[in-house]
Structures are given as C-alpha cells and as structure tokens.
Structure 1
Amino acid sequence: MESYPAPARQLVDRMRRAALADAPRAIAFQGAPGAYSHEAVRRVDREALALPCFSFEDAIQAVVDGEVARAVIPVENSLHGRVADVHALLPESGLSIVGETYVKVEHCLLGVPGAELAGVREVISHPQALGQCRHRLRHLGLRAIAYADTAAAAAEIVARADPSLAAVASRLAAELYGCRILVENLEDAAHNRTRFLVLARTPLAGPIARPKTTLVFEVKNIPAALYKALGGFATNGVNLTRLESHLSGGSFTAAQFLIDVVGAPEDPAVARALEELAFHSKWVRLLGIYEEAPLESATA
C-alpha cells in the first residue's frame, strides 16, 4: 500500500488543503481520517485542523518543514506495548515534546454495508490493533492481515466491497466511510489505552503545573553502567514512569535508553539525579518538558 484507499482520498485532500492553509492551527497525525491518532488530535485541541499523513515520518517532517505547528504521535499502548520505530524517530527529529494525551481504544469489527458477521473470513488492520484484539479474532475464526492503519483499513474494505472482508477500526472510521459495525468493543481488555505525544519545533514555554520530562541517553560501555546511571533517581526519590532501550550505531554493545521522569530539570531532586545520569553516560539529550496528562482523561 503506497496511498490512501479511494474512499479516504477525497477526505484526505480536503483536510490537507484546510490544514496547510492555516499552519498555526494545524496538527499532523499518521493515518487516514478516523484513525485513533485523529481522535488524539481532537483531544489535544478541538479547534485544530488535522492533517492526515501516510507515515510517522511524514507527520514529523510536516512539523520540521513548518507546514504545521504540531504533530501527535502514538508511543505506547497498554495492551500491545511500544509503537514500533517511534522510539528512534523522536530523538532523530530534533523536535520537542510539548504535551501528551491518552485515548481509550474501543475497537469495532467493521464490514461493508449489508455484510453479516457469519460471512466474514478475513480482517485487515494495523498490526497494533490486530494484536490488541488477537484473542477475540481467534475466537471468531478470522484470519488477520496486517494493513497500514486502522482507518485506512475501513476505507479499503469499502473500496473492495467484499462482504467476507472486515476491518478493525474506530466508530469514527465507520461513520466516515459508511461501514457496518458487526462487533463493538472487540479489544481483548477494557483498559486498552494508547499514549500520544505532542511534538513541536520549539520547547514549551511558561510554568508547568505537573511537569514530566523525557530524555534519551547512552551509557558508557562498562559493567553496571545502567544501574549507576539510574541510581540517582532512586536515591533522590524521583519517579521514572517509562524506560525503553534500543541498540544503536550498528553495534550489539551500544544501547540508547529513553526515560520519562516525573518532575522538571530545575527541581532540586531531579537536577541531582540528572547530574549522576550525565556522569555515567556518554551523552544525555533532553526531548521535552511538558504537562503530565492523567490516565483517567482517556475515558473523558
């Protein structure tokens, strides 16, 4: 798949024209209209002009190039874990994290108009969505096929007009493309939520009531380096809410780590912890300081 399915293309073109004509109000997201990232844009700013982008790279580049003011990118899901590639794209982008939000993911099994659940044989969707529904899909006896994103999958089944083919996507996608909802709440667990980060070219200005800080660093290649690097957060009572690692530089011995810290670098306890982190690391890079969003906001 290299472009949006026909039912989505006209809507995408209309949204792009509006967003690119008013860059300060525009927020880029990955996926077709009706994607959960589209819902995240609405949660971040109800007045924003959403700009659909085919890939995460395209959404980030739209901010880098100044076509839009911000981008909303998913980073992790409570059922299926880390969103692939985003951990590498964030540091490479040069953008700052200026906010976060949570979206409660309520998947629907969508069919074409007139389709019946008994006649469905295959289902397409983004791998994250399929993973979040894998037990239910297996129980229904459906063959899961990976697709570029959830909302585009909904548009694709309408384009194919095949009653044996269904999609996993949102209720919004069903409304936008005229799909029939065959099963609601398809996800394997009710706590299914996705965390999204808001990216901009410049850091957030002004005081932050409930600050959260995101950093990326590479430890020195010595025994217990990670233990020592993170020890300062424990001894200073600073809470880490996220820790991820990935290999870098083509070596199996060099790893970068991405962490979320409750607090801001100017807080004395955080400052002491960061000083110890820097001492035991090759380098440390600040990705953003922003307002912590309560998890309960995903149900609002």
Structure 2
Amino acid sequence: MKIAFQGEMGANSHIAIVEAFPDAEAAPYATFEDALAAIASGEADLGMIPIENSVAGRVADIHHLLPHSGLFIVGEWFLPVRHQLVAPRGAKLSDIKTVESHVHALGQCRKVIRKLGIKPIVAGDTAGSARAIAERGDKTCAAISSRLAAQIYGLDVLSEDIEDEAHNTTRFVLLAREEKWAKPDSGPLVTTFVFRVRNLPAALYKAMGGFATNGVNMTKLESYMVDGNFFATQFYADVDGHPEDRGLAYALEELKFFSREFRIVGVYPAHPFRATFSETKD
C-alpha cells in the first residue's frame, strides 16, 4: 500500500504512516495539493494529512482544500510531536548560531530557542530543514526535526524533546478516493461534514440547535471563507456518532433544513487517543 504525505522523508507525517501502517510505502509530495492529487488520481492508495495541532491550531490550507478535493476521510491518527535540535555530526551546542524549521515547529520550541540565544529561520518543513543542514555541513547551523529525520540524514541530536508543551499532538486524517463509512454500532465513531447555511437571520444558531436537543456531541466546528468571499462562509464539523444513529440523524435533518449545501466527508472509527485525552481531562 502506498500512502501519500506532504513533506520529506522523516517528517511527522512520515512517522504517523510508520506507526499506523508499518508495512506501507510512504510517498512524499512537495505540497498538500500534490499529495491530494496523487490520491485522487490513484497514484497513491491513501493519504496521511495533518489537520490540526494541539498547540498551533489548524493546519493552514487543509480545511480549504479538503472539501474541494473530492476525497473522503476513512480514519484518523493522533501523533504526539517530539522535536529534536539536530546538527551536522560533530557540532556542539555552544557552536550553534541559527536554527531552521517549519514555522509551527519554531513556534512550539520558543523557550529553548530563546534560552540558547540562537536565530530562528523559517523553512518549508522540519524534515527538509534537517536535509538542508546535513547537505551544507555548517556546524553553526541547526534544525528542529524528528529523531527519524536525524537518522535518515545522518545528524546528531544536540538536545532532545525541546517542545514547550508536553501535550503537543497533531491530528491526522486518512484520506481515500472512495467513500467507506464505518458500520453503525462498531465502536466509537466520528462523522465529519461540511455545510453552508442559508442566508437567513440566525441560520447558524438554528442549524446547530438540533445537535443540542438530540444530545449529539460536536467536537469541532470551524469556518473559513469560500473563494475569498467575505460573505460566503463554509463550516467544517466533527461530531460523535454515526449518521444512522437516531439522535444524529435528527440533528443532521434539522441542519440540512437551514443549509444551502451539505456533504458528509467521512464516517470513521474514533482513534483511541480521544478516550485517553477525555480521561485525563476528567
């Protein structure tokens, strides 16, 4: 099985694939558009795409690209993110003057960067930064990447697990060309859908009312512009349950009444991390 991801070998998306599908082939693509196109064309069987991070929030572009991709969510994966400060072989921590990485990784390691007094440089992604400093071989240049990237590109780990927050976790969605709903009553499930409300006073409030009255837990609701139009807003939502469950069926029926567009993007098993996280919160 070939699974597409955005970035380079050693990226966190690569790690998620290795954890979820140890026997699969991880296929890197330069951009999210390229990765989604590979799935849509059949060049890749599935895609492992990051959608949100517990520290940085939602991943840019994905909420905009996903509804237009024609792809479906068939699963999810949660990956605790552990950042390493890496540098060319033989480099010392005292020699480092700059550190480069993805803007989110730099933002998630502000304390260490400030403590060391080194200059952060924004780059395309974490694994690409590791490859770049390995190719340059400048022992004053470090990168923030995964341990897997350090192994792939032959770098030393100068400081381990430097993320500011221990809860730093990224949620990925598993994308496929064909819709494949999980079966009802097959365990904890997540239903993801996108919608646009009708141009009526309090339409969003009324559309959401059915979820409250039917006892449906909505775990995510985000909005974003459509085609750059300030007055055209699309919503992306995750709820617990299956569309055939009585409560969710009634809630979706009410939502559709107040919506001009509605599409279910996926019905898939909830990752065990959700239960673990809920227990720690309780």
Same fold (TM over 0.5): yes
**Which residues in structure 2 correspond to 1:170-249 (within 5 Å)?**
170-205=146-181, 207=183, 208-249=186-227
| Structure 2 residue matching 1:257: 3-state secondary structure | strand
* Contact map agreement 1:102 1:298 (CA 8 A) in 2: no
Alignment of 1:89-238 (within 5 A): 89-205=65-181, 207=183, 208-238=186-216
Q: Among 16, 33, 36, which residue is 1:40 paired with?
A: 16
Q: Which structure features the higher share of strand residues?
A: 2
Structure 1 residues 157 and 219: alpha-carbon distance in aligned structure 2, compared to 1, 3 A threshold: same
2:60 corresponds to 1:84:
yes
Does the Cα contact within 8 Å between 2:214 and 2:250 map onto a contact in 1? yes
TM-score (norm 2): 0.94
TM superposition shift of 1:296: 6.6
> 2: distance between equivalents of 1:121 and 1:298?
40
The CA deviation at 1:142 is 1.9
- Residue ranges of structure 2 left out of the alignment (5+ in a row): 278-282
Q: So what's the TM-score if we normalise by structure 1?
A: 0.88
Structure 2 contact 181–267 (Cα < 8 Å) conserved? no
- Are the equivalent residues in 2 in contact too, given 1:221–1:253 (CA < 8 A)? no
| Runs of 4 or more consecutive aligned structure 1 residues displaced over 6 Å after TM superposition | 296-299
Specify the alignment match of 2:280 in structure 1.
Answer: none
Question: Could you say what the CA RMSD is over the residues aligned between the two structures, in angstroms?
Answer: 1.6
**May I ask how many residue pairs the two structures share in their alignment?**
275
**In 1, Cα distance between equivalents of 2:41 and 2:30:** 16
Structure 1 residues 74, 171: CA separation in 2 closer, same or farther (over 3 Å shift)? same
Q: Deviations over 1:176-227 (max 9, x none)?
A: 1111111111101111100000000112255242211110111123332211
Match of 1:68 in 2: 44
Comparing 139-148 and 54-63, the one that deviates more: 139-148
Following TM superposition, by how much is the alpha carbon of 1:137 offset from its aligned partner in structure 2, in angstroms? Answer: 1.4
Q: List runs of 5+ in structure 1 lacking aligned partners.
A: 1-24
Say which SS state the counterpart of residue 229 (structure 2) adopts: coil
Identical amino acids, percent of aligned pairs:
50
User: Is 1:283 aligned to 2:261, yes or no?
Assistant: yes
Letter in structure 1 aligned against 2:83:
H
